[in-house]
Structure 1
Amino acid sequence: MATESKPTSPLFSTEHRFTAGEESFTYRALAGWQTLFQREKPVAEIFHVAYLKQDSASQHRPLTFVFNGGPGAASAYLHMGALGPKRICFGPNGSLPPSPVRLVDNAESWLPFSDLVFVDPVGTGFSRALPKDSQDPKDSREKSDPASKPPQPDAKAEEPPKESPFWDVERDLQSLGEFIQGFLSRYKRWLSPIFIAGESYGGFRVAR
């Protein structure tokens, strides 16, 4: 895959205040997709959520890319359970409370010392491979929504998911490497100290 050189999907941005202990600062939250290309054609979209501290030295702050295990695991567990600026409020014994769950400030977030990018590898969360005949990422998201049209009998129903090529070890690493390059270019963060963090299979990704 070549590094993305075309406009990518728009992101959604909001601004928040982080307060924990003696720490208090403004940060920007970004959520959206980044398109991956192969031979000038879009082949996948990677969903991510980023938290960027807003200060005069933001372009040189450490930046950590975070992912869980896989295939099949989105970044939600480390995102909402460990490292993000907000976390789910668990019960006193660590149990998940009944819905609706409540979010609280996460005093143990890494955001005070590193900007964070939580990444969903292709086939997890909202990240999807694009159909070969589609040039429009939005069209792919609509097609992947089961509510968009009733299921039709299809002799190809047992074919492997279109995301399965990205579950190969090398293709998985390649796609995440391309995502990181694209993110650094989009936000001009090549001068930031870069870190990668993962748990379970995500730790294997980090080592590779």
Structure 2
Amino acid sequence: MSDVKESAATSHEKADEFRTVAADPRPAVPEAKSANLTWSANGKTMDYTVTAGHLEVREDAGALLAQMFSLSYVVTTNGQPDVSRPVTFAFNGGPGSASVPVNFGGIGPVRVETKGVQHVGKPEVKDNPYTLLQQSDLVFLDAPGTGWSTLAEGVDPKKIFGIDGDASAFARAIQDWLEKNNRWGSPIYLFGESYGTIRNSQLMRLLGEQGVYVTGVIMLSAIFNWVQTLPGEDLYYLGMMPTYAATAQFFGKAGKDMDEDVWFDAAISFTEDILAPALLKGDRLSATEEQQVAEQLSNYIGLPAQLIAAKHLRVDLETFRTKLLKDEARVIGRLDTRFTSDSYHPAQTSHEFLAMEDAALDALDAPWNMALRTFLREKVGYTAPTRYLGSNYTTIGVNWDWSHACAGTEGKVGAPNVSFDIATALRRSPTTKLAILGGRFDAATTYWNVLHDLSTQFLSDDIKQNIEWHRYGCGHMAYVDVPTLIAMYDDLKNFYKKSAH
């Protein structure tokens, strides 16, 4: 009992510390700065205005909740914007991640050059030939508590740091930008990555409820059903299996001489037809049957059947990451399983530590941050009084309020399935277009789970015609791959063209 009391006391102390730290006012936000720049690539040029500054997040009665940092890029002709152009609001996830990766890594007008699955080192920044600025003006938003976005003095973090509070804050910031920039007549798009797709699921419903029509929604590296993250949930193991198979093939451990997409589809079929029924039976599956499935699974994911059977067919990600290339003393990545690093010291056995170590993130996190700071200072003339919080998960994410009442369901649950919110938004607005993009090597937000989640919403054929799926040979941050960046650009260029009609 004393342990329980100590644990509870510690928990309360951490909560108090969280409230104090998160609500502590940071220095006043700097004045917004703008600059007129020219983008040039592939024989084309565009003039645009970049603006760095803060948007106000206010309650309906006017009380200030937060000041959200935004970086907007607006194409101009003779110095004037075209208010009929689409405007896309883009963000990453976390929760607790700022929008730098999707901006300087992917769809912004300037981009850090990448080197396949190798570390980047000192960043080289060039105009991005595949920027979505060619299709739409872009506004990158940093969630409160990330980047330079701050809570207003005295605001309880609980109002913002949760599924519902976060979505409400973004909806208010988006409308603040539309009002200040006279863009209410522009087609509005949402581009979310990772947790940003949970945010998108809320926003596409919430904005509609607040009288804002959303033309198109882009979900990159999506997660919709939080249940799959809970310990012991079989949806987790099922979702991981095709990603494991793709990874094993990449490292030559399985699927030799087979087309990558054919192999991935075969893994999906095995997941649904063989593995899922076996997991559903639990210990009612005989030892002989379990061994048979383990041997089949071994052929797909490259781990020994004996190890798989010992885990009762439930192979967790940390086991896979550390065992697949064990003979080479390598650990594979999480966000992108093609990245690798040296194995860790035998004393470094902390599960929490290993889960957060990721070669895919290490390769680009610092270069992106340095590129942002250099661009803002040298090109825009914007300087900030504090360090840029590219990731603030340890303060925000670990204290996140996951409770949410999905549209049409009763009561809040701590592991919501926001597919209900997506389906509700699409049924209310059957002309809204949805694009879902994912990668075979993404072990953070697995592709199969997204496919499964939306397929269980039983949408009509008319609505399904407005949903397009794109699967790439990449990891979580699809744009790291230049071939994927090109394919994604082509797909989204067509998406904007189709959704404009």
- The TM-score bracket by the shorter chain reads 0.7 to 0.9
Structure-to-structure mapping, 1:2-13, within 5 angstroms:
10-13=31-34
**Which runs of 5 or more structure 2 residues have no equivalent in the other structure?**
1-28, 203-501
Aligned-partner SS, 1:104 = strand
Amino acid at match of 1:207: S
User: Higher strand proportion, which one?
Assistant: 1
Report the counterpart of residue 102 of structure 1 in structure 2. 124
Q: Distance in 1 between matches of 2:117 and 2:177?
A: 35
Report the residue type matching 1:132 in the other structure: G
Inter-partner Cα distance in structure 2 for 1:9 and 1:98: 30
Q: In the alignment, is the contact (CA less than 8 A) between 1:71 and 1:124 conserved in 2?
A: no
Q: Distance in 2 between matches of 1:43 and 1:64?
A: 23
3-state secondary structure, aligned to 2:167: helix
Alignment partner of 1:36 is 2:30: no
Q: Distance in 2 between matches of 1:64 and 1:193?
A: 8
3-state secondary structure, aligned to 1:122: coil
Alignment partners' CA distance in 2, 1:122 and 1:57 = 28
AA matched with 1:13: S
Q: CA deviation at 1:28?
A: 0.5
Higher-Rg structure is: 2
2:47 corresponds to which letter in structure 1? T
Q: Which moved more, 1:172-181 or 1:21-30?
A: 21-30
Structure 1 residue 130 displacement after superposition: 1.6
Q: Note the C-alpha offset of 1:57.
A: 6.4
1:4 matched to which residue of 2? none
CA offsets, 1:1-34, max 9 Å, x none? Answer: xxxxxxx974210111111113211000010111
Query: For 1:24, which of 45, 48, 58 is the aligned residue?
Result: 45
Q: Does 1:196 align with 2:190?
A: yes
CA RMSD of aligned residues (A): 1.9
Equivalent residues in 2 for 1:28-107, closer than 5 Å:
28-38=49-59, 39-55=61-77, 58-91=82-115, 93-99=116-122, 101-107=123-129
* Greater length-normalized contact order (CA 8 Å, ≥ 6 residues apart): 1
Task: Supply the AA of the counterpart residue of 2:97.
Answer: A
What is residue 167 of structure 2 aligned with on the other side? 173
Q: Which runs of 5+ in 1 are unaligned?
A: 1-7, 134-161
Alpha-carbon separation, structure 2, partners of 1:33 and 1:188 = 17
How far is 1:84 from its partner? 0.2
Q: CA deviation at 1:43?
A: 2.0
SS of the residue 1:49 aligns to = strand
Greater fraction helix: 2
Q: Deviations over 1:168-204 (max 9, x none)?
A: 1111111100001110000000000000011111112
Q: Identity of aligned pairs, percent?
A: 30
Asked whether the equivalents of residues 123 and 163 of structure 1 are also in contact (C-alpha less than 8 Å), the reply is no
Q: Secondary structure at the match of 1:59?
A: coil
Q: Figure out how many residues of one structure are paired with residues of the other and give that number.
A: 171
Whether the aligned pair in 1 keeps the contact of 2:58 and 2:172 (CA below 8 Å) is: no
Q: Which runs of structure 1 show a deviation greater than 4 angstroms over 4 or more consecutive aligned residues? A: none
TM-score by structure 1 length?
0.76
